[in-house]
Amino acid sequence: MTSPTSVAVDRILVPLDGSESAMPALEHGISLAVEADATVHLVAVVDPYGLSSVAERSEVEAELEEAVTDAAARVQDAGATVRTAVESGFPHEELLSVVDREGIDLIAMGTHGRTGLDRYVLGSVAEKLVRLSPVPVLTVREDATGERPYRNVVVPTDGSDAAVPAERWGVGLADRFGAGVRALSVVPVGPVRSSETTAALEEAATAAVERVTSRATEAGVESSQVIEHGVPHRKILDVCERTSADLVVLGTHGRTGVERFVLGSVAEKVVRLSEMPVLVVPAE
């Protein structure tokens, strides 16, 4: 039984492009759906603007229909409810329309897909959705590390209000899966403005991780704190690798200014470079 602080995940969107690169994200989406009793929405998008003929478009549509049908069987075999669709248009725009129309709570997708003029690149679509999606986006590499169900969730935070939704999701998912949470804050290296000393930055980092662990304690989730000094995205990746993280959950926008790293740009770098799944949660 989940605690009142758990996040609601009722509808999960898994974009497909017919490539094997999308399959690990599908498996993560299925795991989440089974745990949360959620519906999986499988959606493929035909991008007609890169197709030279009606025959070529028909071929692509047939391939995507087959990919969606095969994926739906995997979802059903796992005991989850599934809905399917093949849309036409610019992939990220069509997927965002599905999010709005179907009331999607979370997107799970691969970071690399088919290339060439006849296919949209799932990776570039993932980056656009990370920037534009109003709901969390879980990105999963084809060779992703980590275990399912999740056991070790890393939650980087800069203590800003924008990081609160990611903190809530990180603790909420840990609660659902019986995982532990490692709260992480990075004190950036380099020049510090006179108005804010290194000691003050460290104090802010301590307050940031304590906010996460307090939320975890309230939810009955085991947690720990880590404070690092250095380049934020590198330190996040280092900690995740060092602690064998199964999932990293972070926000898309954080504090700005010379004395703070911008959590949004950090999130995009982590998505590009992380070997473990990354859940990027937009600010409210």
Domain parsing of the chain, residue ranges: 11-140, 152-281
Q: What pLDDT, in 10s, does the model give residues 142-163?
A: 888 888 899 999 999 999 999 9
H runs (alpha helix) in 78-190? 91-102, 122-132, 164-177
Class of the 11-140 domain? alpha beta
Q: Which helix H or strand E contains 208, and what residues bound it?
A: helix 198-219
Looking at the predicted structure, is the pLDDT value of residue 260 above 50? no
Looking at the predicted structure, is the pLDDT value of residue 57 above 90? no
Q: Which CATH architecture has domain 152-281?
A: 3-Layer(aba) Sandwich (3.40)
Domains 11-140 and 152-281 equal at CATH topology level: yes
Q: What is the pLDDT at residue 169?
A: 97
Strands (E), the chain: 11-16, 39-46, 81-88, 106-110, 137-140, 152-156, 180-188, 223-230, 247-251, 278-281
Residue 263 confidence class, pLDDT cut points 50, 70, 90: low
Rounded mean pLDDT of 106-118? Answer: 67
d(CA 73, CA 69): 6
Q: What is the pLDDT at residue 196?
A: 60
Q: Is 266 left (phi over 0), alpha (psi -120 to 50) or beta?
A: alpha
Q: What pLDDT, in 10s, does the model give residues 2-27?
A: 444 568 999 999 999 988 889 999 99
Rounded mean pLDDT of 263-270? Answer: 78
**Could you write out the DSSP letters of every residue in 90-121?**
-HHHHHHHHHHHHT--EEEEES----STTS--
